[in-house]
Amino acid sequence: MALNVVIAGASGLLGSHLSQELIRRDHAVIALVRRPTSAPDESSWDPYAGEIDQSVIDAADVVVNTAGSPLFGNPHSQRWRRKLRDSRVRTTDVLARAIARSGNRPVFLAQNATGYYGDHGNDDVTEESPSRGDTLMTGVCRDWQAAADPAVEAGARVCILRTAPVMDGEGMTLRILKPLFQLFLGARLGSGEQYFPVVSVRDWVEAAILLAEDASISGPVNVASPDTPTNAEFTKALAAAVHRKAFLFAPAPFLKVAAGPAGPELLNSTHVRPAVLEATGYRFRDRDVSAVFAAAFAAKPR
């Protein structure tokens, strides 16, 4: 059955790949944009003013929020930290309230992050695991998830996509890390023993579409490759993917000073298991970090 899907953040990495795949599968996509538009596949909105075309939400089968400011920036800047939070929480809140007002109650796929969990050491982290600590991203993720509550309370089916860092050659993470590793400046962080979940774009897209279509799934869903690497394994795999070796390491005390409020995020250990997805029988195309990097750097079809 063809779906009508509304996407916030459709021009970003995840939103653009999801849009392309949905259209390829003959679903209809409307992008929410923060500018005037008369295009039939776009709708203007202003989440900071709480403005959205309710008729667009009423006509949707699925609403997806992938909006959010870049994760890379100056963690010492209060302005950057506020934008990091507000760009996620406010967009989610506006969409959740619009869904709650809709008699149609479209499905809501609300993006979030594995940063929600905080530091769990070597323990397996499933969707049932608690959120620990008070680091910057953990706090953002808690507020981000809570912003979807109006849709939940109104009876809509809501999936919270607790997504691992997404690795793709077009994404900001690898656009920053790849040249550093090519210059032999890649470094493990601290001891390197902390678990660092990752996922490929294509697995995120396939998972999102599964969640849109499978009416039996709701609540938090970990979107992360099943074989979680340590930071040392991540570093080694990325170096190998760009045909280099990584000899350096960044000491934990240095990271805590240099990264400021974001420092703990680099040293937290989160051994994520995508238990909900695995229970559905979903088969990841990229199960480990080497496969994720191979997919990230593969030649894209033109």
For residues 161 and 298, the model is more confident at 161
Instruction: Work out how many domains the chain is built from and give that number.
Output: 1
Average pLDDT over residues 29-46: 95
Q: Which residue has the higher pLDDT, 251 or 266?
A: 266
In a domain, 236, yes or no: no
DSSP 8-state symbol, 115: G
Structural domain contains residue 177? no
What is the domain extent for residue 21? 4-168+198-228+271-286
Mean pLDDT of 128-147: 95
Backbone angles phi, psi at 35, to 5 degrees: -160, 160
- The Cα 84–Cα 102 span in angstroms is 28
**Mean pLDDT within 202-208:** 98
Question: Which of 25-29, 133-137, 179-183 has the largest mean confidence?
Answer: 25-29
Interval 254-281: pLDDT, tens: 556 555 666 677 789 999 999 999 999 9
The confidence band for 126, taking pLDDT boundaries of 50, 70 and 90, is: very high
Residue 245 inside a domain? The answer is no
DSSP state of 62: E
Are 47 and 21 in contact by the 8 Å Cβ rule? The answer is no
> What number is the average pLDDT over the span 26-49?
95
Asked if the model's pLDDT at residue 251 lies above 70, the reply is no
How far apart CA 295 and CA 62 sit, in angstroms, is: 28
pLDDT value at residue 110: 98
From residue 85, alpha-carbon distances to 70, 143, 147, 149, 278 in Å are 11, 8, 11, 17, 30
**Three-class DSSP labels, 31-50:** EEECCCCCCCCEEECECCCC
Asked whether residue 238 is domain-assigned, the answer is no
Q: Kindly report the average pLDDT of the chain as a whole number.
A: 93
pLDDT tens string 59-111: 999 999 999 988 877 777 889 899 999 999 999 999 999 999 999 999 999 99
Does residue 138 surpass a pLDDT of 80? yes
Reported as a single tens digit per residue, the pLDDT across 143-178 is 999 999 999 999 999 999 999 999 999 898 898 889
**Within-domain flag for 188:** no
**Parallel, antiparallel, or unpaired for β 158-163 and 28-33?**
unpaired
CATH number, position 35: 3.40.50.720
CB 107 within 8 A of CB 154: no
Is the confidence at residue 55, as pLDDT, over 60?
A: yes
Asked whether residue 61 is domain-assigned, the answer is yes
Does some domain include residue 12? yes
Q: Does residue 292 surpass a pLDDT of 80?
A: yes
**Sequence-separated (6 or more) residues with CB below 8 Å from residue 40:** none
Per-residue pLDDT band at 38 (split at 50, 70, 90): confident
Residue 302 in this model has a pLDDT that exceeds 50: no
In a domain, 25, yes or no: yes
